[in-house]
Structure 1
Amino acid sequence: MSYKPGDINLGDPDQLLEVGNPPHEYFTVLRNEAPIFWNPAPPKDIGGSIPLERGFWVLSKWEDVSLASRDSSRFSSWLGGPVIYDVELNQDPRNPWTLDSQRMGLMGKDGQHHAAYRKLVSAGFTPKNIAALKPMITEHAARIVNSVRDMDDAEFIFTVAAELPMLTLCEMMGVPPSDWNMVFEWGNKAAAVEDPTIDAGENMAAMVGYFQSLVEEKRRNPDKSMLSSYANKMIDGERLTDMDINLFCLTLSIAGHETTRNTTAHVIRLISEHPEQRSLLMEDLHARLPNAIEETLRFSPPVMQFRRTATEDIELRGTRVAKGDKVYLSYASANRDEEVFADSQKFDILRTDVAKHLSFGAGPHFCMGNSLARIQLSAILTELLTVRPDVHVTAPPTKARSIWFNAMTAMPVEFGKVADQVGA
Structure 2
Amino acid sequence: MTASVEARDRITAPVLDMDPYSVENITSPYAFQTALRDIGPVAFIPKHGVYAVGRHAECTEVFKDHERFSAKAGIGIQDIRKPGDFRVPNRMLENDPPSSTAIRGVVTKYLSPIVIRRWKEHFEKLATPFAEEIVARGSIDGVEDLAEAWILKVFPQAVGIDMPREQILAIGEMRFNQSGPPNELYRKAMERAKPHIEWFEHSVTREAAKPGSIAESLFEAEERGEFPEPGLASNMVRSLIGGGSDSTIAALGHTLHYLARDPAQWDLLREDANGRAKLAFEEAIRMEPAFMVTYRTTTGPVELSGVSLDGDTKIGIFMGAGNRDPRKFEDPDRYDLMRNSTGVHVGFGQGAHTCIGQMIARIEAEAILKALSKLVSRIELDGEARYRPINQMRMLDILPLRFTSA
TM range (shorter): 0.7 to 0.9
Would you say the 8 A contact 1:59–1:329 is kept in 2? yes
- Could you tell me which residue of structure 1 aligns to residue 28 of structure 2? 21
Closer/same/farther in 2, CA of residues 335 and 235 from structure 1, 3 Å limit: farther
CA distance in 1, matches of 2:346, 2:227: 31
- Structure 1: where are the runs of 5+ without partners? 42-53, 92-97, 420-424
CA distance in 2, matches of 1:56, 1:99: 18
* Alpha-carbon shift at residue 32 of structure 1 (Å): 2.7
Closer/same/farther in 2, CA of residues 207 and 164 from structure 1, 3 Å limit: farther
- Could you tell me which residue of structure 2 aligns to residue 303 of structure 1? 291
Closer/same/farther in 2, CA of residues 203 and 73 from structure 1, 3 Å limit: farther
Closer/same/farther in 2, CA of residues 204 and 124 from structure 1, 3 Å limit: farther
Letter in 1 for 2:59: V
Closer/same/farther in 2, CA of residues 348 and 73 from structure 1, 3 Å limit: same
Letter in 1 for 2:35: V
* Alpha-carbon shift at residue 395 of structure 1 (Å): 2.0
CA distance in 1, matches of 2:49, 2:128: 46
Closer/same/farther in 2, CA of residues 248 and 233 from structure 1, 3 Å limit: closer
CA distance in 2, matches of 1:366, 1:212: 23
Q: Normalising by structure 1, what TM-score?
A: 0.82
* Corresponding residue SS for 2:378: coil
Matched, 1:151 2:151: no
- Structure 2: where are the runs of 5+ without partners? 1-13, 178-184
Would you say the 8 A contact 1:308–1:326 is kept in 2? yes
* Alpha-carbon shift at residue 374 of structure 1 (Å): 0.9
* Corresponding residue SS for 1:287: helix
Give CA deviations for 1:47-93 in whole Å, capped at 9, x if unaligned: xxxxxxx4211111111111111111211111x211124546447xx
Larger RCO: 1 or 2 (CA < 8 Å, sep 6+): 2
CA distance in 2, matches of 1:129, 1:351: 28
* Corresponding residue SS for 1:10: coil
Would you say the 8 A contact 1:166–1:253 is kept in 2? no
CA distance in 2, matches of 1:279, 1:149: 17
CA distance in 2, matches of 1:159, 1:241: 41
Closer/same/farther in 2, CA of residues 206 and 387 from structure 1, 3 Å limit: farther
- Could you tell me which residue of structure 1 aligns to residue 368 of structure 2? 380
Pairwise mapping of residues 258-407 of structure 1 onto structure 2 (< 5 A)?
Answer: 258-353=246-341, 355-407=343-395
* Corresponding residue SS for 1:205: helix
Q: Normalising by structure 2, what TM-score?
A: 0.85
* Corresponding residue SS for 2:296: strand
CA distance in 1, matches of 2:322, 2:239: 24
CA distance in 2, matches of 1:290, 1:8: 35
* Alpha-carbon shift at residue 301 of structure 1 (Å): 1.3
Pairwise mapping of residues 62-141 of structure 1 onto structure 2 (< 5 A)?
Answer: 62-78=56-72, 80-85=73-78, 87=80, 89-90=82-83, 99-102=86-89, 104-141=90-127
Matched, 1:9 2:3: no
- Could you tell me which residue of structure 1 aligns to residue 42 of structure 2? 36
Would you say the 8 A contact 2:21–2:391 is kept in 1? yes
Number of residues of Structure 1 aligned to a counterpart in Structure 2:
382
Matched, 1:216 2:223: no
CA distance in 1, matches of 2:117, 2:144: 26
Closer/same/farther in 2, CA of residues 247 and 212 from structure 1, 3 Å limit: same
Would you say the 8 A contact 1:208–1:247 is kept in 2? no
Matched, 1:169 2:161: no
Letter in 1 for 2:37: R
* Corresponding residue SS for 1:407: strand
CA distance in 1, matches of 2:199, 2:49: 31
Which region of structure 1 is more displaced relative to structure 2, 358-367 or 164-173? 164-173
Matched, 1:56 2:50: yes
- Could you tell me which residue of structure 1 aligns to residue 189 of structure 2? 198
Letter in 1 for 2:278: P
CA distance in 2, matches of 1:67, 1:331: 12
